Amino acid sequence: MRGDHGDVVATRHGMFGANNGGDTSGYGGLVRTVAMPGAGARPYGGWFDEVADELEGALEEQGLEPGNAIEKTVVDRGELTFHIAREHLLQVAKTLRDDPALRFELCTGVSGVHFPGPESKGRELHAVYHLRSITHNRLIRLDVSAPDSDPHIPSVVPVYPTNDWHERETYDFFGIVFDGHPALTRIMMPDDWQGFPQRKDYPLGGIPVEYKGAQIPAPDQRRSYS
């Protein structure tokens, strides 16, 4: 869905999206859309065109149609993001790492994002990778999506080994299954924990927290301002 400021990915009700009485912010009646920047148009500006041209050309040389691998290219707030089809993620990552004109040698981690709702149907989960070229002093981002019903994305650990624990954390909190990861287990939550706490549809409250000997009530048991 397109909005005035890009692609609408969600409609939020209340401050935190809670719809079961757990919103204690006082903004329970707030309704707002969440829109992400849409695809950019050439020229992107600066070195962005050089990177995009080199990546597309390298993929073509490998026999891969760039339009099949790169779903869209976004330039926003002075940053460059490639939205990559998950089945081509490893090939794109290896190309970005190894091509002499690109040389994005370092992946500084992966972050999970969750946009449930009809606006994002089929692409509710996102894995966002931050790549840095030490050779050329450049920073770009890769965004890879997957549906809630099939939360599988290839692991980039074979290309960027330092992403090992980052993928485990993203799996732990968002439930994204990184296929091919050497040991995809929880890293923060107990092994028998049910659910993925940073998903937007994860229940808000209901679990008290013990912190340094003090019992902190669950959010839905605290004072409500609405």
Which whole-number Å values give the CA distances from 186 to 173, 180, 194, in the listed order? 8, 15, 11
pLDDT class of 220 with cuts at 50, 70, 90: low
**Is pLDDT larger for residue 200 or for residue 111?**
111
Instruction: List, for residues 143-200, the tens digit of each pLDDT value.
Output: 999 999 999 999 999 999 999 999 999 999 999 999 999 999 999 988 888 889 899 8
Our CA angle for 66, 72, 77, nearest 5°, is 130
- Whether the CB-CB separation of 225 and 27 falls below 8 Å is answered with no
- Closest by CA to 111, choosing from 153, 156, 62, 169, is 169
Instruction: List, for residues 55-104, the tens digit of each pLDDT value.
Output: 999 999 999 999 999 999 999 999 999 999 999 999 999 999 999 999 99
The edge-to-edge listing of strands for the beta sheet with 31-36 is 2-3, 6-13, 31-36
pLDDT class of 4 with cuts at 50, 70, 90: very low
Q: Which residues pair with 144 in a beta bridge?
A: 127
Domains by residue range for the chain, with CATH: 1-36 (no CATH), 38-190 (3.30.460.80)
pLDDT of 223 strictly over 70: no
How much is the pLDDT for 219? 65
Contacts 24+ apart (CB under 8 A), 9-13: 9/34, 9/35, 9/36, 9/115, 9/117, 9/119, 9/120, 10/34, 10/115, 10/116, 10/117, 10/119, 10/120, 10/200, 11/117, 11/119
- Closest by CA to 114, choosing from 101, 128, 104, 100, is 128
- Whether the CB-CB separation of 220 and 21 falls below 8 Å is answered with yes
How much is the pLDDT for 181? 98
How much is the pLDDT for 1? 46
98-123: average pLDDT: 94
- Whether the CB-CB separation of 58 and 51 falls below 8 Å is answered with no
Determine the angle formed by the axes of helices 48-61 and 89-98, rounding to 10 degrees.
120
Instruction: List, for residues 9-34, the tens digit of each pLDDT value.
Output: 888 777 765 566 656 666 777 888 88
